[in-house]
Amino acid sequence: MTTLAKPMHDKQSEPDHRELPINKVGVRGLRFPIQIRDKAHAVQNTIATIGMFVDLPKEFKGTHMSRFLEVLNAHGSMIHVDNIPDILFAMQKKLHSATAHLEMEFPFFLSKKAPVTGKEGMMDYVARFDAAACGEDIDFVLTVKANVTTLCPCSKAISVHGAHNQRGEVTVRLRSKNTVWIEDVIAMVESSASSGLYSLLKRQDEKSVTERAYENPVFVEDLVRSVVLKLEAHPDVTWYKVEAENFESIHNHNAYACIWKERKASG
């Protein structure tokens, strides 16, 4: 005699008496392989930390967490940036939601030559995609983080010998009507600082970097303003937020500056 298995109860679909909708609910901290295009249209493989979320109406107790993973894995073993809208729409459909959100943060690598010897070393940067679908409308924000060297103009002006410098972190967030390359954002940041950073420097290179920073002192305020001027000159950027934080070498605090703006793209 065969015993029929009892149907499993769908606890998440039960009504919730508190009648409070949830704006974003889902999974965070997933690590997954992704492919991104660099400016030369070559494919770069990297690993992203992913978050996936939808809205939850007030009528339901919970969402179905396993369905997020089903959507992710349905797009193959490798996510491409170009299919992010497909993933968002699939989340909306599978989880019966009006909105869907996808966040992906990953290391981005560039080969960078030392300024004098030309020796190459790999530099890693942090990049992030934040995408959201509301109905059929897609919102996409690119974030790039790059570390730089800044030398204090005030310290240089008042000191007989030397000037204090420090590593700074610049975070650029932007929306655009067309693709803005990660490499271009990195170039905007590094060219606005006293000096960029390098993974491999011989003595000749170190001398060059040190002297270049000394001849190009910038406050944290100078840094964000210079990056913003480059973003303002970009025809496709429609919104930006630029943050700079200097990890001070002679103070027990950090220096910080931020500019953000909504702008109309030209063209």
Ranges of H-type helices in the chain? 65-74, 84-94, 153-158, 182-190, 203-215, 220-232
- The rounded distance, in Å, linking the Cα atoms of 67 and 49 is 18
Query: In this model, does residue 90 exceed pLDDT 70?
Result: yes
**What average pLDDT does this structure show over 243-259?**
95
Q: Looking at residue 10, what is its pLDDT?
A: 60
Collect all residues with Cβ–Cβ distance below 8 Å to 145 and sequence separation of at least 6: 125, 126, 127, 128, 169, 170, 171, 172
**DSSP code of 3?**
P
pLDDT at 61 over 90: no
Distance from the first to the final alpha carbon of the chain: 75
- Residue 89 scores a pLDDT above 90: yes
pLDDT of residue 2: 60
**Tokens coding 41:** 């249209």
Residue-wise pLDDT tens digits, 189-215:
999 999 999 999 999 999 999 999 999
pTM: 0.90
C-alpha 27/C-alpha 12 separation (Å) is: 15
Residue 76, pLDDT above cutoff 90: no
Amino acid at 166: Q
CA distances from 97 to 25, 84, 118, 214 (A): 11, 17, 53, 55
Domains of the chain with CATH codes: 22-262 (3.10.270.10)
Phi, psi angle pair for 55, to nearest 5°? -85, 155
What mean pLDDT, rounded, does the chain reach? 91
The single-letter DSSP state of residue 11 is G
If you average pLDDT over residues 134-147, what whole number do you get? 96
Contact between residue 193 and residue 218 where contact means Cβ atoms under 8 Å apart: yes
**Eight-class DSSP state of 83:** G
Helices (H) and strands (E) in the chain, counts: 6, 10
Helix (H/G/I), strand (E/B), else coil: 181 = coil
Q: Where do we find the tokens 């990195």?
A: 186
On the question of pLDDT at 265 being above 60, the answer is no
Between CA 96 and CA 86 the distance in angstroms is 15
Please give the Cα distance from 173 to 260 (Å, whole number). 9
* Res 13: pLDDT: 62
With a cut of 70, say whether residue 24 has pLDDT above it: yes
Integer Cα distance of 184 and 39 in angstroms: 8
Q: Is the pLDDT of residue 63 over 70?
A: yes
Distance CA 34, CA 51 (A): 14
C-beta of residue 212 within 8 angstroms of C-beta of residue 195: yes
From the list 72, 77, 74, 66, the residue with the least C-alpha distance to 33 is: 77
The CA-based angle 139-141-144, given to 5 degrees, is: 170
Provide the pLDDT confidence category of residue 266 given band limits of 50, 70 and 90.
Answer: low
- With bands split at pLDDT 50, 70 and 90, how would you rate the model's confidence at 17? confident
List CB contacts of 212: < 8 A, sequence separation 6 or more: 115, 194, 195
pLDDT above 70 as % of the chain: 93
Q: Give percent of the chain above pLDDT 90.
A: 79
Mean pLDDT of 145-161: 95
Confidence check: pLDDT of 111 > 70: yes
pLDDT on residue 42: 85
